[in-house]
Chains A and B, each alone.
Chain A
């Protein structure tokens, strides 16, 4: 097939009623073919494996973060409970003042403490 015939074939492929299967077949016979490299499937597989490893790492990170969060949260709750018990044992009650460490202070004395007058 000469160049002008190939050009005609290309142009004819844009006619709505052309048999496009025939056009693509003829072009393939003329050496118009597209391929990826020989080891394309292996490259895809390698990329999938490396993506899988990255994903596993992300999953592990989230898992460890959750674990760390629960440990910190449980430790915090335990510390608060111990603090409340110790306040109860020392003060005999768990009032807001005792929780803040305020004993016999009146409002005026707090104002004096804060303003210095």
Chain B
């Protein structure tokens, strides 16, 4: 269980305490940011045990790179960047895996992700959101996840994904077109 005294503690103190080997402090960081990480990971990969593994990887990576965190950016931004990188790497890994066995790697990968997601019980709104997300090309999906689920502005999305603002803007309009045709079918 997490120590109650850490509930109101500042990020910097939590980081410092974690670096000093305080497990409760790191547990508090996990508790504070797991929902944010879940939105990115599950939005991008679908709702499954694999997503939870990636979520755990995010915090394990954070734990090992915590000494490199200078506090110049928010801890949430730092964690979000780890989550984005690990999720995109997982998508690349899946794409490589599917391309080994099939010429239609992309389509089969999306079908797999949607089928994987369908094992969970969800309400109608969640179904639509998840099917829309998983049917999108990953480069558009990450932008939709950042905006629709995390509530990031265009500028914040560009910073998070290390993309020029112009690229994000052009992807927004292309993703919107793709979304419209996907949602028509749902």
A43, closest chain B residue (CB): B56
Tell me whether A48 and B63 are in contact in the complex, defined as CB-CB below 8 angstroms, given that A3-B124, A14-B176 are known contacts: yes
In the bound complex, CA of A47 to CA of B64 (Å): 12
Contact B169 A27 (CB under 8 A): no
A82 at interface (Cβ–Cβ under 8 A)? no
B177, closest chain A residue (CB): A14
Interface size on A, residues (CB 8 A): 34
CB distance from A16 to the nearest CB of B (A): 5
B30 at interface (Cβ–Cβ under 8 A)? yes
A90 at interface (Cβ–Cβ under 8 A)? no
- Listed by A's residue number, 10 A-B pairs whose Cβ atoms lie within 8 Å are A14-B172, A15-B176, A16-B169, A16-B172, A20-B151, A24-B150, A25-B151, A43-B56, A45-B27, A48-B63
- Which residues from A are CB-within-8-Å of B150? 20, 24
A111 at interface (Cβ–Cβ under 8 A)? no
Contact A34 B123 (CB under 8 A): no
Judged by DSSP, the binding face of B is helix
Query: Interface with A: B7-15, B38-46, B69-77, B88-96, which one?
Result: B38-46
Give B31-52 interface residues, CB cut-off 8 Å to A: 31, 34-35, 37-39, 42-43, 47, 52
CB distance from B133 to the nearest CB of A (A): 9
| Chain A residues engaging chain B, CB cutoff 8 angstroms | 1, 3, 6-7, 10-11, 13-16, 18, 20-25, 27, 30-37, 40-41, 43-45, 47-48, 51
Contact A31 B144 (CB under 8 A): no
B110 at interface (Cβ–Cβ under 8 A)? no
Contact B151 A24 (CB under 8 A): yes
Contact B38 A34 (CB under 8 A): yes
- Which residues from A are CB-within-8-Å of B129? 6, 10, 27, 32
B52, closest chain A residue (CB): A36
Contact A34 B176 (CB under 8 A): no
- Which residues from B are CB-within-8-Å of A48? 26, 60, 63
